[in-house]
């Protein structure tokens, strides 16, 4: 009897939770591909052009996702993780893609993916530097958000390496 009541109670809880989440958002989880698991921070395109993180790698993967049916099965996000950017911000303080590996920039890639029915995800870090030492977003959160929006980025993975954890509750720290 106890097991029957427990099953009935669990069924009601699941039913109630299901109803509460029936708001039209995230009907499927964000599914796709991220370069990090296979390509990590391979940035030497001279000695390893096929495997280095570059616009060519991202475009090849986008082509495969569209042609091989992954996009049609719901895998629509193609995400670029750490190591995509130049080691320094530009003269206006904006993030910039590495000019050798991404010569046409991130906006070009976003347009390329969007034309294939895919969405672009990108990585940044809340700290002063990313996990691999590239420029982080601390002190630049609003500028970086505007930059990503201008590039038509669809998804942001925001990491926490090299971050002052006490600043996370504020989202940004005012410099003295």
Q: Give the start-to-end residue ranges of the domains of the chain.
A: 28-167
pLDDT at residue number 23: 80
pLDDT at residue number 172: 53
Q: Residue range 15-33: average pLDDT?
A: 72
Q: Residue range 114-119: average pLDDT?
A: 98
Question: Residue 90 above 50 pLDDT?
Answer: yes
pLDDT at residue number 175: 53
The answer to whether the predicted template modeling score (pTM) of the entire model surpasses 0.85 is: no
Q: Under CATH, domain 28-167 is a member of which superfamily?
A: Aldolase class I (3.20.20.70)
pLDDT digits (tens, 9 = 90+) for 32-57: 999 999 999 999 999 999 999 999 99
Beta-strand ranges (E) seen in the chain are 31-34, 75-80, 119-125, 155-159
Confidence band of 160 (pLDDT split at 50, 70, 90): very high
- Can you tell me whether residue 30 is helix, strand or coil? coil
How many CA atoms does the CB half-sphere of 6 hold within 13 Å? Answer: 3
Distance CA 62, CA 68 (A): 10
CA 70 to chain centre: 18
Residue 120 β-bridge partners: 78
SS3 content of the chain, % helix, strand, coil (to 5): 35, 15, 50
Q: Residue range 22-33: average pLDDT?
A: 84
Indicate the burial class of 105 (C-beta count within 10 angstroms; 0-12, 13-18, 19 or more): middle
Closest residue by Cα to residue 142 from 174, 176, 106: 174
């Amino acid at each position: 009897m106890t097991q029957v009541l427990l099953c009935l109670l669990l069924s009601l809880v699941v039913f109630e939770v299901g109803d509460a989440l029936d708001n039209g958002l995230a009907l499927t989880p964000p599914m796709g591909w991220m370069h990090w698991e296979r390509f990590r921070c391979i940035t030497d395109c001279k000695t390893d052009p096929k495997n280095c993180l570059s616009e060519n790698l991202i475009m090849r993967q986008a082509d495969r996702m569209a042609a091989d049916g992954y996009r049609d099965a719901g895998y629509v996000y193609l995400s670029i993780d750490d190591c995509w950017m130049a080691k320094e911000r530009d003269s206006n303080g904006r993030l910039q893609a590495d000019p050798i590996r991404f010569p046409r920039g991130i906006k070009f890639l976003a347009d390329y993916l969007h034309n294939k029915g895919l969405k672009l995800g990108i990585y940044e870090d809340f700290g002063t530097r990313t996990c691999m030492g590239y420029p982080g977003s601390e002190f630049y959160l609003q500028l970086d958000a505007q930059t990503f929006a201008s590039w038509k980025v669809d998804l942001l993975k925001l990491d926490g390496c090299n971050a002052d954890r006490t600043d996370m509750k504020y989202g940004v720290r005012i410099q003295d």
